[in-house]
Amino acid sequence: MAWRLDWSKETNILTAMLLWPVWSLILLLIPVDAADKGDDVRAGCSTAVNDLVYIVDGSWSVGFADFETAKQWLINITSQFDISSHYTQVAVIQYSDNPRLEIPLGKQQSAADLIRAIKGITYMGGNTQTGRAIRFAVDHVFSTSQRASPVKNRIAVVVTDGKSQDDIVDSSMEARAQSITVFAVGVGDEIANSELVSIANKPSTAYVLYAEDYTTIDRIRDSMEQKLCEESVCPTRIPVASRDEKGFELMVGMNIETKAKKIPGSLVSQTAFALNTSTDITEKTSEIFPEGLPPSYVFVATIRLKGIAPTLNFDLWRVLSKKKEIQAAVTLNGKDKSVTFTTTSVSKREQRIVFQGFQALYDGMWHQLKLLVRPSQVTSFLDDQQIQEVLLEPAEPIYINGKTQVAKRRGTDVTVPMEIQKLRLYCDPHQSEKETACEIFSVVKTFNL
Ligand SMILES: *[C@@H]1O[C@H](CO)[C@@H](O)[C@H](O)[C@H]1NC(C)=O
Ligand SMILES: *[C@@H]1O[C@H](CO)[C@@H](O)[C@H](O)[C@H]1NC(C)=O
């Protein structure tokens, strides 16, 4: 701007004072303008607000070469996060007899700086005092976090290849007492399972990871990334059987259970809910998915389409931006008996995948529709039968300042009357294998035969 003032020149101060009314007007206008552009709020793993502390074994058993590999692995698993004081801050502790703070929390304010700093860490060598290192992280590293807004997730990742020579139980308990989530990554066969289980949060199936050795640690990169991301964007847990699974219980979150009429479900033991044209299932996305969607998830819906519903095309579930652009949607196309999955795309406005072969979904009976969404593919299932797997292009984080809706005609706010028994989004893609359609009569029948 040509009239921008040069504040460094004293002579201009007078001009600045004269222009003050103009300045205050501009300042007043800025927030209004920003609010209008509210659509710019995308959320996903990259924008998660994490304090992430890596606690890395630097004892003699690791060796120089494998220590270098461990460093590279840390760099790799960090790549999905936006490193800054607004989003993810990273610290690294190397330990053997004593812990050494290699990178203080939040010191590096960009990914490039962080990568350089991790590469610069030199191997210590020594004994393995894992308990002491965890205590050091709890007492001296997490507590030094400095942020403008409070941190949402405090996560520690302990990477070790040997049995600890000190007690790890007390310090791990202390970490949990301070709401720090601890992952334990065991490398090699020297490490005792019981020790990793004590270090990590429960359930250990979710928080303990193994690699055969450092040369194959890259194989657990995807699962570590997914787990770190789940931890960042999936704060809620859904009780499933005797386990707690991370995910979003949309029957509750979307207020379906309070807004719709209760009806008998697919089996005597089940309850379902009937939506009519005046039931509006709409919530703010920022309240349902405050941190966006994880890169992998399982969408599960147990539904019955009767009356006109099986003949209509409508969004069973959709996330809209403020400008009503689809960020994620599962669309039922009654006209041609297909199902469409829509997601974002980094190169196009959106990507739409049409799955054929869903005739049965429209037959007026209860059915379970499941979509297993992964970063590079999406797989559809009907009543436990795989229908089709299709490749996806990279998706973008979703806009979270629009609305999330259920059972709406495409492009309108009109509700389609339908019956819903289950509507969930699990964050762990492995939940896809565990989530069987055992509430569907035909599936139970086949199972019992
Ligand atoms: C890190 O990522 C690069 C690129 O994907 C890969 O070639 C390398 O093997 C990875 N290293 C480790 C230790 O995970
Ligand atoms: C729609 O469902 C609601 C909630 O059960 C009920 O109060 C309302 O009377 C129903 N409206 C119609 C038109 O059936």
Q: Say if 394 falls within a structural domain.
A: yes
Q: How far is the CA of 62 from the centre of ligand 2 (A)?
A: 66
Query: Atom 2 of ligand 1 has which residue's CA nearest to it?
Result: 76
- Which residue, chain included where needed, has tokens 């001009």? 15
Whether residues 256 and 173 fall in one domain:
no
Whether residues 245 and 224 fall in one domain:
no
Q: How far is the CA of 370 from the centre of ligand 2 (A)?
A: 28
Note the pLDDT of residue 449.
Answer: 47
Note the pLDDT of residue 4.
Answer: 40
Run of H or E residues at 285: helix 285-288
Cα separation values, 253 from 147, 174, 326, 406, 441, Å: 30, 32, 20, 11, 27
Query: Atom 3 of ligand 1 has which residue's CA nearest to it?
Result: 76
Q: Is the CB of 261 under 6 A from ligand 2?
A: yes
Q: Is the CB of 279 under 6 A from ligand 2?
A: yes
**359-413, pLDDT tens digit by residue?**
999 999 999 999 999 989 999 999 999 999 999 999 999 999 999 999 999 999 9
Q: How confident is the model at residue 441 (pLDDT cuts 50, 70, 90)?
A: confident
Note the pLDDT of residue 38.
Answer: 47
Whether residues 261 and 364 fall in one domain:
yes
The whole-number average pLDDT for the span 34-50 is: 68
**127-149, pLDDT tens digit by residue?**
999 999 999 999 999 999 888 77
Q: Is the pLDDT confidence value at 231 over 60?
A: yes
Whether residues 258 and 196 fall in one domain:
no
Whether residues 435 and 398 fall in one domain:
yes
Q: How confident is the model at residue 242 (pLDDT cuts 50, 70, 90)?
A: low
Q: Is the pLDDT confidence value at 59 over 90?
A: yes
Task: Give the C-alpha separation, 418 to 423, whole Å.
Answer: 13
**256-292, pLDDT tens digit by residue?**
999 999 999 999 889 999 999 999 999 999 999 988 9
Q: Is the pLDDT confidence value at 16 over 50?
A: no
Q: Which CATH number is 344's domain given? A: 2.60.120.200
Q: Say if 417 falls within a structural domain.
A: yes
Say how many domains are in the chain: 2
**Which tokens sit at 219?**
């194989």
Q: How confident is the model at residue 13 (pLDDT cuts 50, 70, 90)?
A: very low
The whole-number average pLDDT for the span 44-70 is: 93
Q: How far is the CA of 97 from the centre of ligand 2 (A)?
A: 68
360 in Cβ contact with 332 (< 8 Å): no
The preferred substitution site among 54, 68, 72 for testing ligand 1, maximizing ligand atoms within 8 Å of CB, is 72
Residue 222 belongs to domain spanning: 50-233
The whole-number average pLDDT for the span 87-104 is: 96
255 in Cβ contact with 281 (< 8 Å): yes
Instruction: Give the DSSP letter of residue 417.
Output: P
**Which tokens sit at 157?**
């990742």
The angle formed by the CA atoms of residues 101, 83 and 197, to the nearest 5 degrees, is 55
Rounded to the nearest integer, the mean pLDDT of the chain is 88
Any idea which ligand is nearest the CA of 276? 2
Q: How far is the CA of 363 from the centre of ligand 2 (A)?
A: 24
**Which tokens sit at 409?**
């005609």
The residues that bridge with 30 in the sheet, in sequence order, are none
Sort residue 138 into left (φ over 0), alpha (ψ -120 to 50) or beta: alpha
Q: Is the CB of 415 under 6 A from ligand 2?
A: no
**Which tokens sit at 123?**
């191997």
CA 86, 347, 380, 439 torsion-angle sign: positive
Q: Which CATH number is 171's domain given? A: 3.40.50.410
Whether residues 301 and 198 fall in one domain:
no
Q: Say if 408 falls within a structural domain.
A: yes
**157-213, pLDDT tens digit by residue?**
999 998 899 999 999 999 999 999 999 999 988 888 999 999 999 989 889 999 999
Fill in the amino acid letter for 182: V
Atom of ligand 1 nearest to the CA of 77: 14
Task: Give the C-alpha separation, 293 to 286, whole Å.
Answer: 11
| Pocket residues: Cβ below 6 A from ligand 1 | 69, 72-73, 76, 217-218, 221
